[in-house]
């Protein structure tokens, strides 16, 4: 077997909370505790858990917005957190992110085309920025002429398509989707999920899909990692986790989501 696209080893992240007492040391919250997972090209890993379970912290560490206190993130064999800031910026085009809130993830003062082209501009000279922007818009099912419009002219679902266009414009190998459909209507959710799966087939994307909704995760993911209070509870192929959950918490989640098993 080839090396995985993303290999997260024993990730741990602690936050220092505000002091509650002058004499005692500040309390420490362990947001993510000793969590490991891998993602292969063309494969989707779903991370599920309630809010506060450390899902988003995992996304932030994989995106190298935050440095883990222990453990490492190997992306294509490279430890992201050991790179220099400049090397990291050059690598960023290969792993991109789709955010939860489609109204907050696009700069209201910039045209859609400008936002989509941002990852290309960041790495310097790409002469065909306009063509790639148009191509990315069409890949997410929007007309290329939308590049000249502003975000406020679009609905939430369309904005999320634009955000996905920005994420795939540099043809990344890994896409991190942090609650990418949670803010959308159910019917729009299905469209966006289908879009993600189509893009995965076309581009061979590895996807780290983070959600609190097990039903959504069940519909798109190959592997599932269930988390609670920052600790990994169980993980495995989606079918196995869904059919015979090993942990009582997973069963609760399954019941809450109403997933037919």
Partner 1 sequence: MTRRLPVNFILGAVLVALVVGTAALSLVWTPHDATLMTISNKFAPPSATHWLGTDQLGRDVVSQLMAGARNSMAVALVAVLLGGSVGVALGLLASAIGGWVEDGVMRLADLGFAFPALLFAIMLAAVFGPSLTNAVLAIAFINIPVFARVTRGAANQVWTLDYVLAARAAGMNRFAISRDHILPNIAAAIIVQATIEFAVAILAEAALSYLGLGAQPPASSWGRLLSEAQTLMYLAPQLAIYPGLCIVVAVVGFGLLGDGLRDMSDPRLSRER
How far apart (Å, rounded) are the C-alpha atoms in residues 49 and 28? 21
65 near partner 1, rule: CB under 8 A: yes
Q: What angle do CA 202, 148, 125 make, to 5 degrees?
A: 65
Contact between 162 and 154 under an 8 Å Cβ cutoff? The reply is yes
Considering only the stretches 39-47, 95-103, 188-196, 234-242, report the one whose residues sit in contact with partner 1 under the rule CB under 8 A.
95-103
Considering only the stretches 96-104, 192-200, 203-211, 245-253, report the one whose residues sit in contact with partner 1 under the rule CB under 8 A.
96-104
75 near partner 1, rule: CB under 8 A: no
Interface with partner 1 (CB under 8 A), residue from 31, 47, 61, 63: 63
Number of residues that bind partner 1 (CB under 8 A): 27
Binding mask 162-181 vs partner 1 (x if CB under 8 A, - otherwise)? -x--x---------------
Considering only the stretches 109-117, 199-207, 221-229, 253-261, report the one whose residues sit in contact with partner 1 under the rule CB under 8 A.
109-117
112 near partner 1, rule: CB under 8 A: no
- List all residues 6 or more positions away from 243 whose beta carbon is below 8 Å from its beta carbon: 261
Beta strand spans in the chain (E): 6-16, 28-39, 44-48, 70-75, 78-79, 95-98, 174-178, 206-211, 223-228, 231-237
Sign, CA dihedral 152-153-157-158, equals negative
Positions touching partner 1 (CB under 8 A) are 63, 65, 85, 89-90, 92-93, 96-97, 99-101, 104-110, 115, 118-119, 121-123, 163, 166
């Amino acid at each position: 077997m080839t090396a995985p696209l993303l290999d997260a080893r024993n990730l741990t992240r602690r936050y220092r909370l505000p002091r509650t007492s002058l004499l005692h040391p500040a309390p420490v919250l362990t947001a993510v505790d000793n969590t490991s997972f891998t993602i292969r090209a063309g494969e989707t890993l779903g991370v599920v858990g309630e809010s506060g379970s450390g899902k988003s912290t995992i996304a932030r560490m994989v995106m190298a917005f935050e440095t883990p206190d222990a453990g490492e993130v190997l992306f294509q064999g490279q430890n992201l957190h050991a790179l220099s800031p400049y090397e990291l910026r050059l690598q960023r085009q290969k792993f991109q992110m789709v955010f939860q809130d489609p109204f907050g993830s696009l700069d209201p003062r910039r045209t859609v085309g400008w936002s989509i082209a941002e990852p290309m501009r960041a790495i310097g000279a790409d002469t065909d920025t306009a063509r790639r922007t148009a191509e990315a818009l069409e890949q997410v099912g929007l007309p290329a002429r939308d590049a000249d419009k502003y975000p406020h002219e679009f609905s939430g679902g369309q904005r999320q398509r634009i955000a996905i266009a920005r994420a795939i414009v540099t043809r990344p190998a890994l896409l991190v989707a942090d609650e990418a459909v949670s803010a959308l209507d159910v019917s729009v959710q299905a469209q966006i999920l289908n879009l993600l799966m189509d893009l995965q087939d076309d581009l061979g994307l590895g996807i780290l899909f983070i959600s609190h909704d097990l039903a959504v995760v069940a519909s798109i993911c190959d592997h599932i990692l269930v988390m609670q209070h920052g600790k990994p509870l169980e993980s495995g192929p989606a079918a196995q986790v869904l059919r015979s959950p090993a942990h009582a918490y997973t069963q609760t989640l399954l019941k809450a989501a109403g997933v037919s098993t």
